[in-house]
Every structure is written in structure tokens, then in C-alpha cells.
Amino acid sequence: ATKFGIDVGGVARRIGRFQAPARAVLRRAPALRRAVKRRQAAPEAARVYDAAGAARSLDGSLAALGVDYVDILFVHGPRPGDTVASGELRQFFESARRQGKIRAWGVSQDEGLEVDFAGAFAPEGVSQVRADLLNPAPRPADLAFGVLQRPCATLTAALRADAGLADRWREALQSDPLAPGLLPRLILSASTAATGCRAILYSSTDPRRVAEAAAAVSAPPDPETLARFLALAAELRGGAAA
């Protein structure tokens, strides 16, 4: 899959090697650090997603990847206030599919989920949202991404901070919830049901995390354990919301 509406490429790769020295400078210069934070906090300008931008992005991606087609071309990260020219985009997507450049298209949202940008491309479009068992999608979607890191960090912090909570989880699961690999296995196994999405996407550059994901798929926890885990997570989510 590839996306348009996200600014990546050679420039980002080239500046990557300068980021660590830049961070060091910012740590030593509080005034400069505050100025950078103000710049980062400034509201971003509304963006326009149209057929011309999609064509440039798709052709650039095909050339950069050295392939003839991509499986899915996503409208990436539209936010409330952005303009998504759904009519002309639909025509472009259908044309690109006839030409063999894409197999499918859709919308990938990671913020502003109160606005359903994917609805304009239904039923053909693929909907992808950032969601996890503590932050489920506000509406059904085809794919969920970002399913592991955020809930794993939240649950780990909560269990380490509250010995009583950790004891209750240990008793319910009949296992130490902080044992290496257990939370990732439970989270990945439960995420499809918890997010309300048809499938989840997971990727990592950490071989250990990839092994954990493979184990969750090949040998998931038994249904009773998963049900207890989902109930514990829902209880924690409800407490946080209150």
C-alpha cells in the first residue's frame, strides 16, 4: 500500500542524520526550544486532496518503489477542515485501477475520526483507522493500525503503578500480566474483536516484536483467557473515562 497527502522522501532521509545534533542544541537553548514548540503548536493549514495530487503521488511512489502497481492507494490522514475532492478522486482511482496501477483505494485516518472521510468512497473504498482496544474506532472499518504500542504502554504503566491492580489481573489471567511478551500477545490476539475492524495491520523493525506477533497468530490464548483480558481492559478503559 502507499499513501498521498504525507510529506516523505529524500529530503526527510537526508535530514535524519542531523536530528540528534539538533536535539542536543535545543536542550542547551531553552529560548530556541520554546520557539520551536510554538512553531510546532501552530495550527496547520488546511490541505486539499485532489486527483492531480493523487496522480503525482502514485507515479512518484511507483517509480521510487520500482514496481508496476500498489495494492492500495490511501488518502492519508485527512483532518476536519481539509478538502477531499471525493468525486474527482473516485474517477482517478477507478482509472488507475483500470490501468493496473492500483488494486484498491481508500482512506487512512489517524486523527479527526469524528469526520467520516471514508464514507464518500463507500462501498468500494477501503477504510483504515488508528484504533486499539483502549481506543476503539468510532465506526466499523476494514483495517486498524497502531494496535499495539499505545495500549501496551498504557497497560504496562498502569500495572506497574498499582500493585493491587496487577494482583487482580494476575488472579484473573492466572499469569503475571507483566511477564515478558504476555501483554503484546494478549493485545494482538484481542485487537480484531476490540477494535471492531475486519483486520489489523501490524509492523515492526524489532525482530522480537515480529516474533511476538507471529506467536499471537499461530498460538493465540484460549477464548476464556481472551474474554477475561478484554473485560479487564474494558474496566480499565471505563475507569480512565470516568
pLDDT in tens, 166-185: 999 999 999 999 999 899 99
Count the neighbouring beta carbons within 10 Å of the beta carbon of residue 81.
12
CA–CA dist 60, 83 (Å, integer): 22
* pLDDT of the residue at 13: 39
**108-128 pLDDT per residue, tens:** 999 889 999 999 999 999 999
pTM of the shown model: 0.74
Q: Which residues of the chain have pLDDT under 70?
A: 1-43, 240-242
Residues 73/105, Cβ–Cβ less than 8 Å: yes
CA–CA dist 121, 117 (Å, integer): 8
Q: State the alpha helices, DSSP H only, in 79-196.
A: 86-98, 149-161, 163-173, 182-195
Domains and CATH numbers, the chain: 2-241 (3.20.20)
* pLDDT of the residue at 241: 52
